[in-house]
Structure 1
């Protein structure tokens, strides 16, 4: 395939009969569309394989990710999600979640020098959204600020394509090989470096939430490495615990430091984190 799709596939157009559509994410291996139709307001995700380049190996799993997420959401009891296959991979259709993500929400306070204390009132809602997923037996595996959508009534935790905890149809499943390294726990990075894959866990999700809160509050990622470092170099820095000397302002800082503990056993549970803020 020469590149990402420039339009929605026929199977999606037939399912939704859009009145408007807008491409909102276009990245290696996937696109996300905002679609309005007579039946409602939807997010449509399309996956396609990534071809090998001189700098990157081929990534066939990206073609399967939308259907895998659909299967996870069905396992969680979501009957408002559909998924299937198209010419180059898989797709899913799910309700559109309106609102800024966590990083965008805190951006105005981050711009001040020094940064202002973030409105921590949203943090318990992020904790609750992740805790609800864990209570159902799943680890998210890809916690990052962009995946907490702060809607008018609640925080939505999105993008569950990498979640682990239940049965996935074999034709759509693939091994967990870590996530965006900025939010990867040391034990995940170490396992990926050693074996090529890892196991998503609640403890790693807690670390990722701490890293998400830190970068959203300060603009700085938790671990120090060159911005253009290759992914293995990034993971070595994470595995070795090369923390930046940066602290989130206000009472949130102490909690984030605990969530970023190198040893998973030293991190607070989400229940403990919620109590610390109450």
Structure 2
């Protein structure tokens, strides 16, 4: 065993190491792909399977991973299910781990051709955008919301199966509030009404409804397709406003105000893709499309092309 693999195994609890190696088959090759102080992620590949192994340390990260494993077990059929999970929540050194199937490219990765103008891969990227909407549509139809939706949290299996959801720590039934401590996910993708609620809640539980999540879905696809935020911060009425230097709370207040316009689709390439996304974000909450309707809008924006399942 090489030094890198030996050190990787030592950083992973024995039960998780043994299960991941057994699931992958021998020889199992471990590759560290995420390495933060409280979070490590490995891809483990072998002749039988490829799996993802996530390990978290520290009270809040460990509890979050335990909550995510429970949510994945309870979420509607067709989503990723943990192949194994465990936790040791001793106060001195809390730790949790989770193993899931290795799912494939994220929506962020799948939409790279749109960001880079790669015309020959455009059709496949558009299919991934529609599949992302379908995945959220199925989740909403089953009475759930994701709560932390972003292009990096939806994956597209290599077997061309339906898109699946990752980072489900805050997933909940649509009529139930989140756990306390919910931060709303990536602030630039928040709907104005959820940003306002986050400001009011100050860390208390909030209700994430499907309309707010459709806004986030459209905003995240815009970001993945262009590499830029969907809001035109440069047009904000206060001169010199730089979103990269603002605190999260300040950005939430600005987004909640509704004073920041959505960037005009024509200012980027692929306007026929961005126009439906801009429309979904522009509507008042009670007039927004469902996730399935947004998928149809994206389909219909490209004459002669149809993607995704109904």
Shorter-chain TM-score category?
Answer: 0.7 to 0.9
CA contact (8 A) 1:176 1:199 kept: no
Partner Cα separation in structure 1 for residue 183 and residue 250 of structure 2? 16
Q: TM-score, normalised by structure 2?
A: 0.73
Q: Which residue of 2 aligns with 1:32?
A: 41
Larger radius of gyration: 2
Partner Cα separation in structure 1 for residue 291 and residue 247 of structure 2? 32
Q: Which residue of 2 aligns with 1:68?
A: 67
Would you tell me which structure has more helix in proportion to its own residues?
2
Question: Pairwise mapping of residues 145-224 of structure 1 onto structure 2 (< 5 A)?
Answer: 145-152=151-158, 153-154=160-161, 155-165=163-173, 175-197=181-203, 198-223=206-231, 224=233
Q: How many residues end up aligned between the 2 structures?
A: 257
CA contact (8 A) 2:20 2:99 kept: no
Unaligned runs of 5+ in 2: 1-8, 23-27, 234-241, 301-310
Per-residue CA shift, 1:236-271, capped at 9, x if unaligned?
222122234342633322211122136321311123
Per-residue CA shift, 1:200-228, capped at 9, x if unaligned?
22112111111111111221112325213
Per-residue CA shift, 1:125-165, capped at 9, x if unaligned?
11111111112221001111111223330322222111111
Q: Which residue of 2 aligns with 1:13?
A: 17
Unaligned runs of 5+ in 1: 50-59
Q: TM-score, normalised by structure 1?
A: 0.80
Question: Pairwise mapping of residues 53-132 of structure 1 onto structure 2 (< 5 A)?
Answer: 60-76=59-75, 77=77, 80-86=82-88, 87-99=93-105, 101-112=106-117, 119-132=125-138
Q: Which residue of 1 aligns with 2:3?
A: none
Partner Cα separation in structure 2 for residue 41 and residue 149 of structure 1? 14
Query: Residues 185 and 81 of structure 1: is their aligned pair in 2 closer, same or farther, counting only changes over 3 Å?
Result: farther
| Secondary structure, aligned partner of 1:190 | helix
| Secondary structure, aligned partner of 1:143 | coil
Q: Where does structure 1 differ by over 4 angstroms across 4 or more consecutive aligned residues?
A: 77-80, 116-119
Per-residue CA shift, 1:51-92, capped at 9, x if unaligned?
xxxxxxxxx432212221111111125655322103523221
Does residue 47 (structure 1) correspond to residue 53 (structure 2)? The answer is no
Partner Cα separation in structure 1 for residue 284 and residue 36 of structure 2? 33
Question: Pairwise mapping of residues 216-255 of structure 1 onto structure 2 (< 5 A)?
Answer: 216-223=224-231, 224=233, 225-241=242-258, 242-247=260-265, 249-255=270-276
| Aligned-CA RMSD value | 2.9
Query: Residues 182 and 28 of structure 1: is their aligned pair in 2 closer, same or farther, counting only changes over 3 Å?
Result: farther
Q: Which residue of 1 aligns with 2:278?
A: 257
Superposed displacement of residue 117, structure 1: 7.2
Partner Cα separation in structure 2 for residue 256 and residue 130 of structure 1? 15
CA contact (8 A) 2:191 2:212 kept: yes
